[in-house]
Structures are given as structure tokens and as C-alpha cells.
Amino acid sequence: MHSENKDLCTQTDAVNSDVSNPNSDSRTSFYQDSPDYRPLIKSSSLHKIKQDKNYSKVLVSYTGGTIGMIRSKDGVYAPVPNLMEKKIKLYPQLHDPIAAEEYNKCYPDENVLILPDVGETSRVVYVIEEYNPLLDSSNMTMDDWIRIAMNIKKSYEAYNGFIVLHGTDTMAYTASALSFMLENLGKTVVITGSQIPLYEARSDGRDNFMNSLIIAGNYCIPEVTVLFNNKLFRGNRTSKISTSSLDAFGSPNLAPLVKMGIGIHVEWRNVYRPTSIEKFNVHCVLNHNVGLLRLFPSITVEVVRAFLSPPIEGVVLQTYGAGNGPSQRKDLFDELKRANRRGVIIVNCTQCSLGQVETSYETGSALIEAGVVPGSDMTPEAALTKLSYVLSKTEWSIQTKRTMMKTNLRGELTVHKEMKVEDLDVFTSIIQSLRLSTSEEIDALQDALSPTILCSIVSEGNLEKLEIMRQFGVYLSACDYDYRTPLHIACANGNLQIVEYLLKHGASVHMRDRDHRTPLMNAVENDHHGVIELVIKAGAYLNLPPLIIGEMLCSAAKQNNLRRLESLLLARADPNEVDSTKRSALHYAVEINSKDIVTFLLNHGANVSAQDIYGHTPCDIANILKRSDLLELLQSPLSPE
């Protein structure tokens, strides 16, 4: 199977070779027996790029902010439209013109920028979409969050990762909102900006942008994140902590997901893992009737009453210390109780940067008795945007909404649970034999051994051992030396039970191995139909150029391989994709005289009018080769046009 995988990567070169040699044994052509036969012209395919080069496409949404501003004559920074892309081409650390020229020879219709080779698996190809008008983040609204989310949805399958260039002032709000709106996210979304414009001689913008491209193009971290000053944070855990430092953002209650130094260290165990088998979706409605109310000594009841009055539906109440309020102020607590009875959801968040809301104090438990929902260690930005998201869910009851505010939806709050540690003899014996003592050494050992052990367990199909590894805190999408994850192996083996288990515990369907294959491709190559249906349900898709899909369909038809065609169509391949000669699978099915495959393709929407490079349709081929039974089938009124 490994050789088959390798052939798939280089099949374009083989196709071009066959096309230039009409007598090649690897391709039989009805034209050779036809009076209309003439040698085929070598294909001018757009996919001539050597397949040993992996390219990863990233969409950059430039919404505005300091990163793209220019200093005016008055010394004031202001955005300038249609300048970003032109300027970036002047910076060799952000754009490689030689690589771009090579790429554009094969993809002349794509206007792209290419990041220089930074030693990662894939070269990052990126496109910049500039918003009009460009916005200072202080002017951002919920409608702008929706616009950004919908833009990601529109381009979701065309790109491997996404970057949003954004002003810093409200970046934490945007990151938090998007984390909830982008449901079942399976790809990396990085939000970044700068304290100094990218075009200045001394700027943090260039490093922030370059690092964001590296992460979005090469690391499958399926979260909305914020990248600043060589650190990648979970977006809904961030707050802006400085107006003047280049270290402008902090994540007080969660360590960075990635630290970028001489090397790039990803803390995979902290990466959030969705647990539902659903496709990516954007929730594009938000409730505007939410607000932040910060307690202060001697706050008046009139202020609280006015704030909690209609149309308000949700409030983040910023309290003292570990979530405490003035419990002796009966007038205030009466207002909170009345608002709660009207259906207003009030969430208790601490005014402190570090720590979380506790109920161990009498002043904190009094708020719970008044119906206030404890907000754990959510930031005010996360709590507010989560309220807006939860309140907009019309399918949820008010009680469900209250429950959801306490539930960890996107890694925005900490849930303390006891970790079961059992049957760890392998790790324990290795730790003892190597005389490891520090937690850092043990963590490094676990990171090194886990991928190999996981892949071995999945290959055996041992669900019990896999559960033990999960309880031990092992990251279930850890890659082996070939960048294959346990999900790749389970899909290749067709173990439906293991695949379902991995998906329910956060395994990503978008991870790519060294040859850029996804788990879906492994399932297709091995014709595991149940697995294909399951990973498609989880949001997988064929991340391949149309020509490659066309070659796969045509190859299956030419080999009379009905099961492979079924696999490809289950994976949502278009049966009308063509190979480099513009022939479809239906052309080849007629040529080899396979009634079963012709019938199958017709039942799945194959186009009987499709013409190859000589203008021949499948009906023409049936005529030339005197396939009268197939011609009748093709001309049947039941056949799709």
C-alpha cells in the first residue's frame, strides 16, 4: 500500500508521460483503433509542480489595525488601502519572488505570495484579502465578527489555515467571539497584529506576521488563536495587558499553546479537542443585549437596576477577589434576584487577572443563591462573547443556556477533574531505567514515546489500551516520524470503532502526513466505506486539486474498479472531473465496455455530453467502438444530461 500511496503523489508526471506516448502500455486508447486517431498533445496541466514539494495555502484577512498603518505628515498613524500586498513583496522574509515565479508558471490564475523556506514541512502560499473599509479595532462591532466568520466559512475548504490581521485594542474580543462562532473548527485560525506598523524600520509586525504564516500553514491547531511576540495563545484566554510593550497580550490562566524560539515548541496536550463528530459550521447570529458591570465599593442600587433593565438579557458581573460581592447589600441582591427571575443570565467573573471564581466564601455563595452563574476563570472578553453566543441559541431553553455558561465549550474555562492513571507499567519502567526525576524529563519522554505507542496500539485495534493512554493525558493526534496520526492508521486499517473513538476524543481529520495525505485519503485508498462516511460526517473532504481527483476517477474506471469509484464518490468527488486529456471516468467506462460502471456513473450524475480534447463524448466512443448496448444506455431518457 505504501507504493500505491507514493504513486498517487507522482501520478501527474506519469499521466504526462503516458499522454506524450500514445503507444504506452499503461494507457490503452480507443483512438489507436480509430480512423480519427492522432497522437495526443502533451498536457499543459496546471499541476506540473513536483509533488515532492508540499504547498500549504493560507488565507490572510486584512481587516485593519496598526500593522498596516502609515505615519502621516502630521505624525499620526492611519490605514492606507491597497498597500499591504505591494509592501510585503519588498520584504524578503515575507515573500520569495523566485518561488512565486515558479509557482505561477503552474498556477497562472492565482495571485499569491510565498513565504521563504523556513525548514518546515510545507512552503506557505498565501493570499491577502483586504477589507473595505479598513477598520481600527476600536470601531469593530459584532457585525464585523460575523463578517470575518463568514469569510472563513466561504473559503474553508480552499485553504489549510487562516490569519486575521487585526488591531490590538479589541483583538481579545474578536478572538473570543470567533472561538464560539466557528463551531467544530478543524483548522488553525490565527489572529495577529502589531504595536508598531509593519512598514516601520523597527517593527514587531513582520515577526508576528511571519510566525502566524508558519503556524497557520504547518501546524494543525484547530482553535482560534492569538499570536504575539513569539507566543501563540488560545484566543478566548487572552487579554491585552500592555499599551506600549511588544509583549502586549497575556493568557493569565493558561500557558501558551506554542512558544517560538530557535525551535517551535507546541504544547499539544493543551490544544483544545472537540468531542463531537460534526462538520465545521458558522453560527452567524449574536445577541447584542449583553454587557459588563464592574462592582465597586458603594455602587448604588440605581446603577445596578438601570443596568439590569430591559432590553438587557445577559450580564458579566465583575466581582471582587474569588468572585465575592457585597453580601450585606440586600438592595443589590434583590435586584440580581429580580433580573434572574426575568430570565437575565448573570455570570460572575473576578476582577483579578489570575485565578478563578470560588464559592468557599460566604460573599461568593450568596451570589449563587441569587441565581448568578459562576464563571470559573473566564476572561471578561470570553464571558461577554460567550453570553452573546449562548443567548442567540434559540433552540436552547433558558436553563440550558445557564448550564452552557458553566460548561467548557471551547477551552475558555478550566474544568477540574481527577485523572485516572492506571496500567502505566511501560512508562514507569522506562522512567525508572533511565533514572528520570524531573517533570520536564518525564514530559519529554512522554512526548517522544507517545506517538509511536499510540500508533502501535491503534494498529492492533486495542481500544482498551487507547483509553488508558487518553486517561494518561496523551495527545491523540500526535504524529509519528512520518507525520501519520493514529487516525491515519485507523482509517487505513478500516477500524470503524477506533476511528469513532478517536473522533469523539478530538482527533483531527485535517492532519496531513509527510505525503500530504489526510485520514480520508487513507480510507479511500483502502476502500473502507463506513470509515469514509464517518470522517466525512466529521468534516473531512478531499483536499486535492481537481485534476488529481479526475485522474483517480479515470484510473478506477479504466481498471473496472467499481469499489474504488464508490469510495471516491462517498468522499464527495465530482464524477465529472477529468484527467489531463479532458476525459472523464464515463469515457473510460465506455471504452472498457463496463456496463456496471457506466450505470453507476450515470446514476451519480455523470455528464454524457462531456467532450475530451478531440471533442468526443462518451456516446461518440460507444459509436466508434460499436458498443450498441452502452450507447442505448447513454441515450436513455433516464440518463442525466
Cβ within 8 Å of residue 426, ≥6 positions away: 453
Burial label, 25 (beta-carbon count in 10 A; 0-12, 13-18, 19+) = exposed
Beta strands 161-165 and 55-62, pairing class: parallel
d(CA 326, CA 296): 9
Cα 454 to the center of its chain, rounded Å? 23
User: Where would I find the H helices in 257-361?
Assistant: 301-308, 330-341
Closest C-alpha among 522, 424, 419 to residue 473: 419
d(CA 176, CA 189): 12
The residue type at 397: S
- Residues, the chain, total? 641
For the chain, the helix, strand and coil percentages under 3-state DSSP, each to the nearest 5: 40, 10, 45
Closest C-alpha among 537, 171, 277 to residue 179: 171
Cα 411 to the center of its chain, rounded Å? 16
Cα 298 to the center of its chain, rounded Å? 47
Cα 390 to the center of its chain, rounded Å? 22
Beta strands 258-260 and 231-234, pairing class: antiparallel
Evaluate whether 504 touches 466 at the Cβ level (below 8 Å): no
Candidates 12, 63, 66, 350; catalytic one: 66
Backbone angles phi, psi at 314, to 5 degrees: -150, 140
For 163, the 3-state DSSP assignment is strand
In sequence order, what DSSP letters do the residues of 467-503 get, joined into one string? HHHHHTT--TT---TTS--HHHHHHHHT-HHHHHHHH
The question of whether 66 is a catalytic residue gets the answer yes
User: Where would I find the H helices in 373-435?
Assistant: 380-391, 398-406, 425-433
Partnered with residue 291 across adjacent β-strands are 315
> What are the distances in angstroms from CA 189 to CA 139, 175, 232, 358, 500?
22, 9, 11, 32, 25
What is the widest separation between alpha-carbon atoms in the chain? 100
**Residue-wise over 284-299: b if at least 16 C-beta within 10 A, else e?**
eebbeebeebebeeeb
Backbone angles phi, psi at 169, to 5 degrees: -60, -40
Backbone angles phi, psi at 162, to 5 degrees: -135, 140
Angle, vertex CA 218, rays to CA 216 and CA 221, nearest 5: 60
d(CA 303, CA 401): 26
> What are the distances in angstroms from CA 351 to CA 299, 345, 452?
15, 19, 44
Angle, vertex CA 474, rays to CA 473 and CA 478, nearest 5: 155
- The helix (H) or strand (E) run that includes residue 259 is strand 258-260
**Residue with the three cell numbers 526525576:** 437
- Give me the active site residues, please: 66
